[in-house]
Structure 1
């Protein structure tokens, strides 16, 4: 290890104790470090802090870039596109020298969202097997710790690590498994940056000013403001003291949760954007995979405006064009009957599917993978597979099916509805596990939905009918929080996407 590496380690330790913006030393945020992966075949920004007027030189391979620290104490250069090759070094030199070792060039993805993305590999189905086989030195992991704040942050505590059984154990299951699929298929190093936060609301990932300017979020913002106004340092201190006393008393009934300060939590508009996204904003990436929506499940229609706004805002702020943004749709969850068997998640799923109208987006439908009694289904491997299928087909040239069949049109034929779906593979639609197709409801002009008799006709069509509906005009499929459905593409087992439609639509 060089003397420069020792110096860099001391600087990094100091920066963990002080805000990055207060350091007078030449420095970089922790998104840069030993063992990192830089995105191949595209320009890569590198940035940091230093003394005003200080000359800075950044070198990698045969490239050398010079700049000067500006009046705001910041500097930035852009590396020319890098090709695959042996591990290399990135050096940054001014009044002091920083040297990052074992830098790989490959593919970089961000995995983001809430608890199902945050779900650890060790808890997932066959997690022990995935952990035992995780000796993958060309897969690199970076975790951004949870931090909510109304003030944009420049740095975080964290470091890149090579994938080993020890490092993947508590990493995002979907994030690691997705990276593993890409690495093994494409044969290049893969970096995966996890900045998910359990229970996070989507509005926390968007700057408040963006929500205000967009309009339509006044009710949500007013609710946030009421909750913020109800918080104070004194109230939080009293609640924490009571909680600590409860623990000291042996945790007597009733159970108490550790108090959280809403002002710095994961639901306030902009908090996660400022605390967890801003510090890595602009780092060269291939794209994003996302699994979120549970916390917005009661506001499905609003999500139809919020989710595309989030994606658009990230792309604009990243200044890297319309990079790929692929998400996992909400799985099935909750009771199938009774007062709690609602349709809020169905509306949110519809908003997720609607967001496919944005360029370079993709959706993994997982209506077959949920666990009705657990909001955290453990089968993360198939979720990762379906997201990887999208990326491999869209971004890496693999010629295979990657989209779930979606409703495309319908026509009325007497007392029946004929539905068409697209895309569908060469083997056509298939009713898994039953001769009968499950999950369809139809209605006449009175709007009263009843369970439909459904049968597959041809490779991409389904015929629906009900003896009490003489002239059906509307249809729903999988329109429930936890629908009982079985229609899929036979070749690849991708479930048909939930939807509702009317003949006038």
Structure 2
């Protein structure tokens, strides 16, 4: 038999061998299947093999097709379990244990959906609160495909526990923790998310064909080489590129990190600042130097240097010695100055900044750039000297998840559309601030597309509206506000909810650490919109109508509860602007004039035709309902 197997393998005739009995990769121990919906089960076996499939005490019989594929469908069941799923042929039996019937939520988007509990600083080492056998989780591996896939690699489902929680999306876990006690059914979370992705790769080719702006890219997809080999080649080039940034180019050999260097001919720039504001347009490295005089004696203990948010990496030298990064608060690294490195008199601080993607540079506030632990803290913001190092384009931009539309959908969404789900959580949009055109139509297209793919026309989709963030790039002024407005307009579709998070961001970090409130607000929406708790005040205040009368504009809001409120001590509501037909905008006084109404004072001689509220990257805002939910940012034209 061994000789026969070897011969068949040598001749490439393994199709002559009996096919191994197999369940599709979706099915694993501890998984959750959707309640109140048919339960499909499928896999492969030897051609025409007779099979018995059991789920709990119910069994179905079938026969594999001539190509070995088989599929059965159990009738819908209420929540319950645990169950054993088994498949038996004449010679083999496979089992999946501890399956529950409950509600499955598909959690998708980019990095803020990916953001894992284990990455949250204050939770590290404190995972005891995440322990609930009624919450099960799985994560789809990153993968691209030219055509829609129906098969997944074998998946692993975990029970939420202190040992497993760190691996999973904070937003998804908090959502389930707030929701599960209210509905008292098991919850399954399928996390299919990819950091730094645009929206177009998440939409099917069928739907993307309706967007002419993507026609050229769509036409190229069939000509792509096999995706796995292409990605592997790009990954190798990227690793070589990272290595070249460390080893090649001017800098270390010329002693740019040493205190003896004469940097008087280097360009003067201000830090904090980003790559584009300093006129450095391409990826690569740049060196920054500054001399600081310490008039007090050098500290007899270690001290710390903080730079604020660094994108994407910084090597920090003090008096020629490389400092170790000892901690990281979000994007803000902290560097240790060992005892004896700093000295009385002049000290030279040199930074080698690496720019891989994004805006590059140091993007925080002047207050975040400090030398701590000295007799007197020293500010590090201000004038520095800059000399460009190696300028080199990131090769991963040649191909990746954003290179073509639909490639993520094919591999990370479509395979799961064979399984019914309860709803979708969608947290994405940051990456589209670089290209906002058409985002509203793309988001509505994605929602309609996924409903068609799952054959669930009323599939609930809960969208996280982007939080406040002070993006430093002048090319992305208020583009976050544009995306938020596009996300708001998606609620024009039935069954779409908006979790407003304009008060939950971090002006200096695009990845806010604490996702608790984001998960809670999504759970509130689910309870009201999906589970029928209609008395619950779960939505944020949102504009319903605008009326212009005399010298005032009155805005009527939905989801005001028993009355809108503002934390402003004088009763004014900050964040409102009026705009005219010439594109001029004026900040205006606004006050709450009825439980569901805010009135704006029109400046004398001004003829407004539109309103904006909280319409900036990191805006002033101050309008809430009694549930503590902030009003959505919006733009309204009449």
Q: TM-score, normalised by structure 1?
A: 0.86
C-alpha distance in structure 1 between counterparts of 2:18 and 2:102, whole Å: 31
CA drift at 1:249: 8.2
* Structure 1 residue matching 2:200: 3-state secondary structure: helix
Give the distance between the partners of 1:425 and 1:410, measured in 2 at CA.
19
CA distance 1:107–1:130, change in 2 (3 Å): farther
Partner of 2:621 in structure 1?
485
Q: How does 1:98-497 map to 2 (within 5 A)?
A: 98-124=94-120, 126-128=122-124, 131-153=127-149, 154-212=151-209, 214-218=210-214, 221=217, 237-244=236-243, 254=285, 255=354, 257=356, 259-260=395-396, 262-335=398-471, 339=474, 342-398=477-533, 399-426=535-562, 428-435=563-570, 436-489=572-625, 491-497=626-632
> Structure 1 residues 328, 411: closer, same or farther in 2, change over 3 A?
same
The structure having more radius of gyration, on CA atoms, is 2
Correspondence for 2:318? none
Match of 1:48 in 2: 43
2:488 alignment partner, SS class:
helix
**Partner secondary structure for residue 185 of structure 1:** helix
Q: Which moved more, 1:115-124 or 1:444-453?
A: 444-453
Q: Is the 8 A contact 1:289 1:326 kept in 2?
A: yes
**Higher strand fraction (1 or 2):** 2
TM-score, reference length from structure 2: 0.69
Verify the 8 A CA contact 1:431 1:486 in the aligned structure 2.
yes
Gaps of 5+ in 1: 1-21
Q: 1:493 to 1:216 in 2, by over 3 A?
A: farther
Aligned-residue CA RMSD (Å):
3.0
Partner SS state of residue 46, structure 1: strand
Closer, same or farther: CA 434–49 of 1 in aligned 2, 3 Å:
farther
Shift of 1:322: 2.2
* Greater mean alpha carbon deviation, residues 276-285 or residues 463-472: 463-472
Tell me the distance in 2 between the aligned counterparts of 1:355 and 1:98: 44
Point out the more displaced range, 364-373 or 67-76: 67-76
Q: Distance in 1 between matches of 2:402 and 2:476?
A: 27
Measure the CA separation in 2 of the matches of 1:294 and 1:261: 17
Structure number with the higher helix fraction is 1
Report the CA distance shift for 1:94/1:281 in structure 2 as closer, same or farther (over 3 A).
Answer: farther
Q: What corresponds to 1:80 in structure 2?
A: 75
Q: How far apart are the structure 2 equivalents of 1:31 and 1:372?
A: 39
**Does the aligned pair in 2 maintain the 1:412–1:472 contact within 8 Å?**
no
Q: Which moved more, 1:479-488 or 1:152-161?
A: 152-161
1:206, CA displacement in angstroms? 1.4
Q: 1:234 to 1:500 in 2, by over 3 A?
A: closer
1:10 is matched with none
- Report the equivalent of 2:26: 31
Distance 2:487 2:580 in 1: 27
Q: Residue 121 and residue 433 in structure 1: after superposition, are their counterparts in 2 closer, same or farther (change >3 A)?
A: farther
Offset at residue 31 of structure 1 (A): 1.9
Rounded to whole Å, the distance in 2 between the matches of 1:317 and 1:274 is 11
Q: Report the Cα offset of residue 93 of structure 1.
A: 1.9
Q: Which runs of 5+ in 2 are unaligned?
A: 1-16, 253-283, 286-353, 357-393
